[in-house]
Amino acid sequence: MDFVNTVKTRMAKVKFIVSDVLIRVKDIEDSLKKIKSEMIVSQDRLNEQLMEEFNWAIREALGEFVRKNENFEALVELMQGEIKKLKSELSSIKAAKDGGVPIWSNY
C-alpha cells in the first residue's frame, strides 16, 4: 500500500509540474505573440518613416534639378543671344568685304 501511495504522490507532483510547465509555455507563447505584434507595428512605422525620408530626398533632388535646369535654360538663352550678335557681325563683315569697303572702317 505504501508503494501505491508513493506512486500516487509522485504522480500528483508530476501533474503539478506538467501543469506549471504548460502554464509557463502558454505565458511564453503569449509574450512571443505580443513581441511579434510589436515588431510588426515597429516595422510598419519604420517603413513609413523611410518612405517619408525617401520622398523628401526625391523632392529635394527634383528641386535641385529644376533650379539647375532653369540656370541652364538662362545660359542657353544668353548664348543664343551672343550667337545671334556674332552672326550679325559676321554678316556685316562679309557684306563689307564683298562690297570692297575696308573691314574695320565700321569700327
pLDDT digits (tens, 9 = 90+) for 25-73: 999 999 999 999 999 999 999 999 999 999 999 999 999 999 999 999 9
Determine, yes or no, domain membership for 86. Answer: yes
Determine, yes or no, domain membership for 55. Answer: yes
Contact 51, 43 (CB under 8 A): no
Determine, yes or no, domain membership for 107. Answer: no
| The pLDDT of residue 70 | 97
Domain span holding position 84: 2-101
Residue 102 has pLDDT above 80, yes or no: no
Residue 84 has pLDDT above 80, yes or no: yes
Determine, yes or no, domain membership for 63. Answer: yes
| Residues ≥6 apart with Cβ < 8 Å to 106 | 92, 96
Instruction: Tell me the whole-structure pTM to 2 decimals.
Output: 0.52
The pLDDT of 21-28, averaged and rounded, is 97
Determine, yes or no, domain membership for 64. Answer: yes
Total count of domains within the chain: 1
